[in-house]
Amino acid sequence: MYPWFKQTYSQLVGRIASSQLHHGLLFLADDGVGEQTLILALAKALVCENKNACNACKGCSLFEAQSHPDVQIVVSDKPSIGVDLIRKVSEFVTTTAQLMGNKVIIIHGIDAMTEAASNSLLKTLEEPSRNTFLILSTTQANGVLPTIKSRCEKIRLHLPSEKQSLEWLSSNTSETVTGEGLHAYSGSPIKYLQALTDKAANYHEFVDDIVQLQENKIFAESVAKKWKAEPALALKWAYQWSILEYKKCLEQDASLSKLNELQNIGDLCSKLKPKLEQAGINFQLILQRVFTQISDFRSV
């Protein structure tokens, strides 16, 4: 369990024990916070004979084996969640629990529900059935019908603070981690760690490339070629780099022309970003424009 969930988790589990948990829970999660871990732990606690995810009872072991008959996790093989899947949920709600305990339905990413699916789910939420819990989650709160929101208890899951993120990262990787690196992954320590362990190109490598570019050790063309598989990320990071460099320049009383140069790089990134959506666009050429400007820039 991630440390930033511990408090929420123990509160929720405490409410299972005192039978005070709402039958419809809606987790409104920040992207990259890792909400699925918390949701699965809560679901396990709900079907645990000891009501605390003891990992020793029949309920827990069936849950771990993903074969608990009273747990249903809705998974869509399409980008959207259709009404057919939600109808199955409604049928499941009306059945009697096979293990005489709670029944749990988990639906991740409910913003992907079609309108018909949302309306069908709404009916299920309006007619709660005893010992049945619906656990819903989304990272796109705006994509959820207000009527669904109003029938659920909403639990917000925010990204941990920079301090807590870096502490957690330090105990999970031997790689160097920084606040700047965390920011490059939109403040998600999980995404940051993933990038470091995947050995895929990560933010630190990006910054190294920029340094080499400015020292004329590599050319804009080859950096663009390297990053063209991740154009959106590269533009985002180039933008972030320009902002951080701008701050550095301000602190060092750099000339106005230096500041202008950096502002131009940031503006170029913003201007090029929507172009990535266009059909047939050459990502390498787009990135090359940015990297060329960066290579012309001399840090103070």
265 and 297 Cβ atoms separated by less than 8 Å: yes
- Residue 22 structure tokens: 């709402």
Size, binding site for Zn ion by CB under 5 A: 5
Kindly tell me which of 54 and 75 has the beta carbon lying closer to Zn ion. Answer: 54
Kindly tell me which of 62 and 169 has the beta carbon lying closer to Zn ion. Answer: 62
Kindly tell me which of 54 and 300 has the beta carbon lying closer to Zn ion. Answer: 54
Kindly tell me which of 57 and 243 has the beta carbon lying closer to Zn ion. Answer: 57
Identity of residue 57:
C
CB of 20 to Zn ion, least distance (A): 20
- Using Cβ positions, the residue closest to Zn ion within the complex turns out to be 48
Q: Among residues 241, 240, 227, which one has the least CA distance to residue 285?
A: 227
Binding mask 58-77 for Zn ion (x = CB under 5 A): --x-----------------
Binding mask 21-60 for Zn ion (x = CB under 5 A): ---------------------------x-x---x--x--x
DSSP code of residue 277: G
CB of 42 to Zn ion, least distance (A): 13
CB of 133 to Zn ion, least distance (A): 16
Residues in 83-102 that interact with Zn ion by CB under 5 A: none
- Residue 233 structure tokens: 């990320």
Residues in 197-256 that interact with Zn ion by CB under 5 A: none
CB of 219 to Zn ion, least distance (A): 59
Kindly tell me which of 61 and 255 has the beta carbon lying closer to Zn ion. Answer: 61
CB of 49 to Zn ion, least distance (A): 5
3-state secondary structure of 207: helix
140: left (phi over 0), alpha (psi -120 to 50) or beta: beta
Q: Among residues 123, 120, 149, which one has the least CA distance to residue 136?
A: 149
Q: Among residues 293, 236, 289, which one has the least CA distance to residue 262?
A: 293
Cα 293 from Cα 20, distance rounded (Å): 59
Kindly tell me which of 48 and 74 has the beta carbon lying closer to Zn ion. Answer: 48
Kindly tell me which of 10 and 80 has the beta carbon lying closer to Zn ion. Answer: 10
Cβ count within 10 A of residue 52: 16
Cα 118 from Cα 93, distance rounded (Å): 16
173 and 196 Cβ atoms separated by less than 8 Å: yes
CB of 125 to Zn ion, least distance (A): 27
Binding region for Zn ion (CB under 5 A): 48, 50, 54, 57, 60
